[in-house]
Amino acid sequence: MLALAPARLNPPAEEATQGAMMFDATGLDAFYGEPIGQATRRLILRRVRAAWPDLRGQRVLGYGFAVPYLRTMLGEAERVIALMPPQHGTIAWPEQPLVAMSDEEALPFPDALFDRILMVHGLESAESLRSLMRQIWRVLAPGGRLMAIAPNRTSLWAQVERSPFAQGRPFSRSQLDRLMREAMFQPERWDTALYAPPLRFRRPRGNGWESVGRRLWPAFAGVHLVEATKSLYALAPPAKGERARATLAKA
């Protein structure tokens, strides 16, 4: 199912898996319009662009609710598309009308279309992680890069109800690593962001928290960032003292 968004729609209000009201597209848009949301976007985007400094000529897909992060890529990448799941609903994107809504089990794109895929607010709310990741694998080009951002289960950002990263399932790094490998992605780069607590200060200042947090409490970052490449092999996570086993993926 593909639904283009020529105007703002009314997203469905659904319950998140942890019992709190899920942030739909309208709620997420409102969050990123506040000072805390702007600081959140800036801190996460800084880590994304450290990994992806040059997107010229690249075809970029943002899955979940990636619009605030994709805006900086317009005019640089060859093509930028935002895809939102039905549980989020969708909003209009004034800068460029390439926003769509689609079932996670059937993304409306041909195989190997995108060079970069950015997933934000997508993994934690997915109804079927296996199906979603298989579709992401399908539409990513060989040699392409996936950047997945997921809430860290040990952080305040995954516990405080008013945080958009507390709506759904959080992940430990080992869980995220296993998810990537079982979906035939090879994790290449790990990073973290959001060490400041999820409080609505009038003028949030996250830079100091980030530098101190990385040194003193790295396990409590708000989100994990993992950059992964598409693999033709299914890589099983190694047990202690063992090397990872690789099996040829079946078509």
Task: Tell me: pLDDT of 74 over 60.
Answer: yes
What is the per-residue pLDDT for 103?
A: 87
Domain residue extents for the chain: 35-234
Task: Tell me: pLDDT of 22 over 80.
Answer: no
CA distance readout (Å), 178 to 144, 154, 192, 209, 210: 20, 17, 17, 29, 26
Triad 25, 221, 38: Cα angle to 5°: 40
What is the per-residue pLDDT for 177?
A: 97
What gap in Å lies between CA 38 and CA 15, rounded to an integer?
Answer: 25
What is the per-residue pLDDT for 216?
A: 76
In this prediction the pTM is 0.82
CATH architecture of 35-234: 3-Layer(aba) Sandwich (3.40)
Confidence of residue 107 (pLDDT cuts 50, 70, 90): very high
What gap in Å lies between CA 143 and CA 133, rounded to an integer?
Answer: 17
What is the per-residue pLDDT for 211?
A: 76
Triad 119, 147, 41: Cα angle to 5°: 65
SS3 101: strand
